Amino acid sequence: MNEIAKDKIFYENSGGGVTLSGGEPLMQPKFTMSLLAECRNAGLHTAIETTGFAPFDSFKRILKFVDLVLFDMKHMDSRLHKKFTGVPNRVIIRTAERISDLKVPLIARIPVIPGYTDSDSNLERTARFIGTLNVGEVHLLPYHSFGSSKYRRLGREYKLSGLQPPDKNRMQEIKRIIESDFDLNVRIGG
C-alpha cells in the first residue's frame, strides 16, 4: 500500500486506480482481497484483470472490493480452449455469467491471436456469448510478441515464436463485425 499510495495524486488527476493483473490475481485470493480492501479503504478505484478460471467462492469474496472486472474470453470451443490454454472453458463461462448476474461492471476482452482465437466462427460465438452478459464494452487485444524476450531470459520455450500480429485491417474488420452484428461497444486495445 505504501507503493500504491505514492501514486495516489496520479489516480486522482486521471480518474484511474489500481488494477490487479498477473498471471491471475485469483491464484492468490487472500492477498488479492486484502490489497483490494485496503485500496477501497483508501478511496481508490479498483479493478481486476482475470481469466475467470478460479473457484467462484474466491470471486465472491473479492468482488465486493472491485469496481471493475476486465475478463478475458479466449475461445468458446471448450476442446480448443483446453488445447490452447491447458484448461476447458466451462468454469470460465460460468464465472463470467455469475459476475454479470451480480451486476459488477464488466469489460470483456478478446485476445486476437492469429491461428488460435481469430477465426470468424470463434469471434462470432464469443461476441454472441458476450452479448448475453451485462457488459459495458469489449476490448479486442491484438497479439504481440513482447513476452518472447521474457521467456528467453527465463530459459523457457516461447511457443508462439514467429507468429505475426494481426494487421490493422483485420482488427478493423473484426471490430465492425462485432459492433454491427452483435450491437456491442468495441474498441481495439485495452
Does any domain span residue 162? no
Which residue do the cell numbers 468454469 mark? 91
- Is residue 51 one of the residues assigned to a domain? yes
- Does residue 181 form part of some domain? no
CA-based nearest residue to 170, from 104, 120, 110: 120
List, in sequence order, every beta strand (DSSP E) within the chain: 17-20, 45-50, 68-72, 106-112, 137-142, 186-188
Q: Give, in order, the Cα–Cα distances in Å from 30 to each of 3, 7, 33, 58, 148.
A: 19, 24, 5, 8, 31
> What's the pLDDT score for residue 161?
85
What is the full per-residue pLDDT of the chain (190 aa) written as tens digits?
A: 988 988 888 887 787 899 999 889 999 999 999 999 999 999 999 999 999 999 999 999 999 999 999 999 999 999 999 999 999 999 999 999 999 999 999 999 999 999 999 999 999 999 999 999 999 899 999 999 888 888 889 998 888 888 999 999 999 999 998 888 788 899 999 7
Domain total in the chain:
1
Overall size of the chain counted in residues: 190
- Distance, in Å, from the CA atom of 75 to the CA atom of 24, rounded to the nearest integer, reads 17
Q: Residue 52: inside a domain, yes or no?
A: yes
Is 83 within the bounds of a domain? yes
Q: Is 110 helix (H, G, I), strand (E, B) or coil?
A: strand
Query: Is residue 164 in some structural domain?
Result: no
Q: Which three cell numbers stand for residue 65?
A: 472490493
- Asked whether residue 80 is domain-assigned, the answer is yes
Q: Is the dihedral of CA 18, 24, 162, 175 positive or negative?
A: negative
Rama region for 67: left / alpha / beta (φ>0; ψ in -120 to 50; rest): alpha
Residue 103, pLDDT score: 95
Phi-psi domain of 180 (left: phi exceeds 0; alpha: psi -120 through 50; beta: other): alpha
82 in Cβ contact with 72 (< 8 Å): no
> From the centroid of its chain, how far is CA 34?
21
Chain CA centroid to CA 188, Å: 13
CATH number for the domain that contains residue 97: 3.80.30.10
Does residue 115 fall inside a structural domain? yes
Domain carrying residue 92: 2-135
